[in-house]
C-alpha cells in the first residue's frame, strides 16, 4: 500500500512575487497591473487593490496607504474580507468618513506612478506570509485583511479602533472561521506552531 502523502510543514508560494511600487493607469482610464507583480493574487484581491487605487485618487492623495487598501477590501463586497467587515459591523460609508476625519483630503496632485506607502507595502508582505503559512497557492482578500491588522500602527488600524474594533484578534478569528470552517482556536494553534518551528529552525 502506498504511503499516505503528508502535508508539507513548510509551504512556498509558487514562482516569485514582487511587491508593487505602484499601480498605473492606462490610456482611456483603463487600469492595469504590471506582471508578474500580482501573479498570485486572486481576482477579488486584485479588485480590492484597484479600488484602493481609485479611492486614493478620489481623496486627492498621491499615494496608496493602508486606509485605501482597507476601503478596497470593504468595497469589494463579495469576498471573505468584505464579509468579515460586515460581521464586525464595519461599513463603507462610516469607514470613508472616519478616514477623511483622520487624514483629510490631499492636494489632488497625482504623480505618473502612485506609490504604496511603507506600511501599505508591509501589508502586502504580511499577506504573502499569511498565505504561505496557510499553504494557500494564491493571495486573497482574507490574506490582505490579515496583513492589514498586523500593521498595528497604521492609519487603517487607527480607523478600525475609532469605529469600535478594540480587539484585532476578533477579526483574525472571523477570517479563520470563514477560511476553513474549522474551530478557530485549532486553526490559530496550527498557525502559531508553524511560526514557532520556523523560528526555531532559523536560529539552529
CATH for 34: 1.10.1780.10
Could you tell me if residue 14 is inside a domain?
no
Residue-averaged pLDDT of the chain: 81
Q: Has residue 114 been placed in a domain?
A: yes
What is the DSSP code string of 187-199?
HHHHHHHHHHHHH
Enter the C-alpha cell of residue 23.
Answer: 499601480
Torsion of CA 194, 125, 66, 147, to 10 degrees: -10
CA angle 189, 190, 195 (to 5 degrees): 95
pTM: 0.74
**Backbone phi, then psi, for 9, in 5-degree steps?**
-70, -30
Which pLDDT value is given to residue 11? 53
Instruction: Estimate to the nearest angstrom the gap between the alpha carbon of 191 and the chain centroid.
Output: 18
pLDDT tens-digit readout, 30-74: 344 444 457 889 999 999 999 999 999 999 999 999 999 999 999
Q: Strand, coil or helix: what is 116?
A: strand
What pLDDT does 67 receive?
Answer: 98
Q: Identify whether the C-beta of residue 63 lies closer than 8 Å to the C-beta of residue 114.
A: yes
Spatial neighbors of 186 by CB under 8 A, at least 6 apart, are none
Residue 4 inside a domain? The answer is no
Residue 77 lies in a domain: yes
Question: Would you say residue 178 lies in a domain?
Answer: yes
In a domain, 15, yes or no: no
Does residue 7 form part of some domain? no
Residue 10 located in a structural domain: no
Q: Confidence class of residue 84 from pLDDT cuts 50, 70 and 90?
A: very high
Cβ atoms of 194 and 134 closer than 8 Å: no
Does residue 26 carry a pLDDT above 60? no
The cell for 124 is 502586502
Count: domains in the chain: 1
pLDDT digits (tens, 9 = 90+) for 107-150: 877 777 788 999 999 999 999 999 999 999 899 999 999 999 99
Range of the domain at 182: 22-202
Looking up cell 493571495 gives 139
pLDDT of 201 above 70: no
Amino acid at each position: 500500500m502506498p504511503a499516505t502523502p503528508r502535508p508539507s510543514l513548510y509551504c512556498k508560494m509558487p514562482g516569485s512575487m514582487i511587491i508593487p511600487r505602484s499601480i498605473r493607469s492606462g490610456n482611456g482610464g483603463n487600469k492595469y497591473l504590471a506582471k508578474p507583480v500580482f501573479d498570485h493574487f486572486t481576482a477579488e484581491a486584485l479588485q480590492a487593490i484597484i479600488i484602493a487605487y481609485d479611492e486614493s485618487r478620489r481623496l486627492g492623495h498621491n499615494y496608496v496607504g493602508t486606509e485605501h487598501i482597507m476601503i478596497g477590501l470593504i468595497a469589494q463586497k463579495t469576498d471573505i474580507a468584505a464579509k468579515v467587515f460586515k460581521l464586525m459591523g464595519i461599513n463603507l460609508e462610516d469607514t470613508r468618513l472616519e478616514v477623511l476625519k483622520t487624514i483629510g483630503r490631499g492636494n489632488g496632485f497625482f504623480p505618473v506612478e502612485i506609490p504604496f506607502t511603507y506600511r501599505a507595502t508591509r501589508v502586502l508582505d504580511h499577506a504573502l506570509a499569511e498565505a504561505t503559512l496557510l499553504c494557500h497557492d494564491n493571495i486573497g482578500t482574507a490574506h490582505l485583511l490579515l496583513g492589514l491588522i498586523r500593521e498595528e500602527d497604521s492609519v487603517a488600524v487607527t480607523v478600525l479602533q475609532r469605529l469600535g474594533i478594540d480587539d484585532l484578534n476578533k477579526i483574525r478569528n472571523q477570517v479563520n472561521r470563514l477560511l476553513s470552517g474549522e474551530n478557530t482556536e485549532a486553526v490559530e494553534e496550527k498557525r502559531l506552531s508553524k511560526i514557532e518551528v520556523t523560528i526555531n529552525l532559523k536560529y539552529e
